Amino acid sequence: MSRVWIPAVVLAAFLAACGKQGKEAPPAGGERPAAQRPAGLSPLFETLPATAPAPTDNPTSAERVELGHKLFFEPKLSRSGTIACNTCHVVGAAGVDNRDVAMGEGARTGPRNSPTVFNAAFLKAQFWDGRAPTLEEQAKGPIQAHVEMDLTPNEAVARLRATGYAPLFAEAFGGDTAALTFDNLAKAIAAFERTLLTPGAPFDHYLAGDSTALGPEARAGLALFQQAGCIGCHNGPLLGGNGYANFSHVQGSKDVGRAAVTKNAADNWVFRIAPLRNIAMTHPYFHNGSARTLEDAVSIMGNSQLKRNFTPEEVRQLVAFLHSLTGEFPSVPYPQLPRAFPAAAPPAGEP
């Protein structure tokens, strides 16, 4: 049965009438009335869902998620055999590595910061420049990137086959004995990543009607977040991640952002808008890791994007609100990885 929204004044009158009768009568249908969304909140705010939808060509199953869990931690997907997806997107550290920019094979570094893998299932596009439209496409990129894991698709598949993954791929993909492919590798990792969600943040409870979920400073920061215009870009369930914006703070830098993908000069220094979920735990900030603290990031964003110099008190209030976006992280244990023993070489002189 669906819940009914009851105005506070009507509810008060109803309870008062019950009191006069000497006992409290339950609402119709035996359910308690739904909590009211706090006043003054923009409809652009949304709670973070507890589950993420899967594409029709990659339905979620326990077997596929478990395979993706192993692959996410599999160092054999890197040339040296020492780097896994979890190296840069550490599930025990809010899905990041806390470096300015990611470090890959041979201690090589790229130009960009590792974004969190948590809640990436809800992003409209992956990577800072949005070059991958899906989690599946994103999963293929780091494995092949020279500065990250540095393998070809054929090398990755051959390594997994030699290690003993073929039966797990068959189990995860409908019994197909030829299922160990690079495309299916990406599908399995994406299926696992769709389980890396962090609902239940204090702000989610506040949106659901718990007015005590945020303290006074966080509520002041929330009001300022709306009044100053932050919500214009940072909205939806992730408070960001669903569009692009010119980042004037880095205009003139060698990293031109989305223009490298679109080949359009109008996209110079345009980057995907950062989602703010768990932002208090994913330092350093921006695509190049140039903001060391959340306070620095808030001040820079106010100046560069809003043309506003936030006072120290306003920065504290905004940071207090951003801390309320930290959700409940799932427990992700280190998985047992397949390790097939190589066939013993025949004795000398035998075929």
Active site residues: 148
Q: Which of 156, 244, 207, 192 is nearest to 325 (CA)?
A: 207
Cβ contacts of residue 322 below 8 Å, gap of 6+?
A: 221, 276, 279, 280, 294, 298
281 burial (CB, 10 Å; 0-12 / 13-18 / 19+) is: buried
φ, ψ of residue 90 to 5 degrees: the values are: -70, 115
Of the candidates 185, 190, 189, the residue with the CA atom closest to the CA atom of residue 157: 185
Total Cβ atoms within 10 A of residue 160: 23
Q: Among 128, 121, 180, which residue's Cα sits nearest to residue 153?
A: 180
Rounded to 5 degrees, φ, ψ at 250 are: -115, 15
Name the burial class of residue 38, with classes exposed (0-12), middle (13-18) and buried (19+) by CB atoms within 10 angstroms of its CB: middle
What's the 3-state SS for 44-92?
Answer: CECCCCCCCCCCCCCCCCHHHHHHHHHHHCCHHHCCCCCCCHHHHCEHH
Calpha distance 239→24 (Å, rounded) = 41
Number of helices and strands (H, E) in the chain? Answer: 12, 2
**Block residue for tokens 């969600």:** 197
